[in-house]
Structure 1
């Protein structure tokens, strides 16, 4: 192999790598047309739209959304303690079976302390692999208990494995649920190394990003204080998903991803 590549060869190689990256990023979205980024959603909002009083304006601030999947679980109250101490709110995509039905008090606390509570299906079924009626059941069985516990029905959901499609999107539109994907994942399901989780998160985080973590895994919650501290040091304001999109309104059925 030659030690030096021509400029045209380098450009060609860069193009192939970019295409491969995009193909990988979109692999979870089968038969899907259209993804909206937080920035483009904000830009499409009415010119006179304003963020709610007391909330961050991410058109001006360098924002990143912090999200957690698959809870609540036994360690989740420790995470809520950290968020409360740091005066931060996160978005929690909750799973039903073995989680909401097992830790209802934690769900109540999440909402009471100002966190955003969202839907991550009942059994973590891959929605593109099941029938339409099953999709509705997976989401509906989470919508109702969250509403009973918090007084508010979720308007956001995250499809397991990020897998969605036009058919799934149609059902989400009918159910009033916007679909939220992510830009940063520490893959904390495969390691308990808090330092590695921190590094992976920070290495991938960019403005208007959506960070995906799991509060159920051993190494994750110990990593959170360091992640928060370093993000702040780098000038980030940590917000919920809805705050990241504001003053735009998240639209049911749409897929949002940085």
Structure 2
């Protein structure tokens, strides 16, 4: 991230809202990250079982071939059907929810996500690229969504995903202040670029490995129809689906830290 001589944070000249920059963002966020295995190992070394809350102790991801299914930028019109699928398949997921026109538009769906045992997380209020913003603006983007989710579910999220995976020291500091750990991913189907559900399915299957974090979006037409096939095939390959906190257990996501397989 560049700064002017006065120290003001300056946005890059390129159009950062282009979805194609997702891969670049992952390779160049410039902030040290922690793998799920390292999070578990650190906790095991200190005999810290604090992270095993929320049913995480039922799965030992140090032994099982775990993978976390995550959805960004919802909820949307297809999220209720997605929840039906997850319930039928007995698969927990992590939802990084967008505030404006999503959390505020579908409060009953947000409540259902929480009530059915999925992890509810923060994906900012308006999907602005956080590394382009001043610290106060970063805080506003995250705090508004925190408040909106807490009002609906009674719980404040402990995880967030920065739009396009773009983070830096300032984003990490604000996240730490708000009690939010940052979660990136290892598998993306690039479902923003296609409505072909079979292609989305195949992209996920081709890239999935143990300790992986799958990024999908429940707001695109081709995504939710691809989910049953993804789940069935990965189960056939011996994967166990977990939420992100379960993937890290007995470690616990530390506010401000960046987690990435």
Structure 1 and Structure 2 fold alike (TM over 0.5)? yes
Match of 1:44 among 20, 42, 45: 42
Q: Which runs of 5+ in 2 are unaligned?
A: 1-22
Cα distance in 1 for partners of 2:42, 2:189 equals 31
Counterpart residue number, 2:184: 181
- Shift of the 84–212 alpha-carbon distance from structure 1 to 2, 3 Å rule, reads same
Cα distance in 2 for partners of 1:84, 1:195 equals 22
Counterpart residue number, 1:235: 238
Q: Which runs of 5+ in 1 are unaligned?
A: 1-22
Deviation at 1:123, TM superposition (A): 0.3
Deviation at 1:257, TM superposition (A): 0.2
Cα distance in 1 for partners of 2:100, 2:36 equals 31
* Structure 1 residue matching 2:58: 3-state secondary structure: coil
Equivalent residue runs for 1:194-213 within 5 Å: 194-213=197-216
Cα distance in 2 for partners of 1:110, 1:26 equals 27
- Determine if the alignment matches structure 1 residue 148 to structure 2 residue 144: no
- Determine if the alignment matches structure 1 residue 117 to structure 2 residue 120: yes
TM-score, normalised relative to structure 1: 0.88
Q: Is the 8 A contact 1:28 1:164 kept in 2?
A: no
Deviations 1:74-117 (A, max 9, x none): 11000000011111110000001110010000000000000000
Match of 1:170 among 165, 168, 173: 173
Question: Which structure would you say has the larger Rg?
Answer: 1
Q: Is the 8 A contact 1:136 1:171 kept in 2?
A: yes
Deviation at 1:26, TM superposition (A): 4.3
- Shift of the 252–68 alpha-carbon distance from structure 1 to 2, 3 Å rule, reads same
Cα distance in 2 for partners of 1:63, 1:248 equals 15
Cα distance in 1 for partners of 2:24, 2:181 equals 22
Q: Is the 8 A contact 1:97 1:122 kept in 2?
A: yes
Counterpart residue number, 2:100: 97
Q: Is the 8 A contact 2:25 2:165 kept in 1?
A: no
Cα distance in 1 for partners of 2:87, 2:217 equals 18
Aligned residues: 234
RMSD after superposition: 1.4
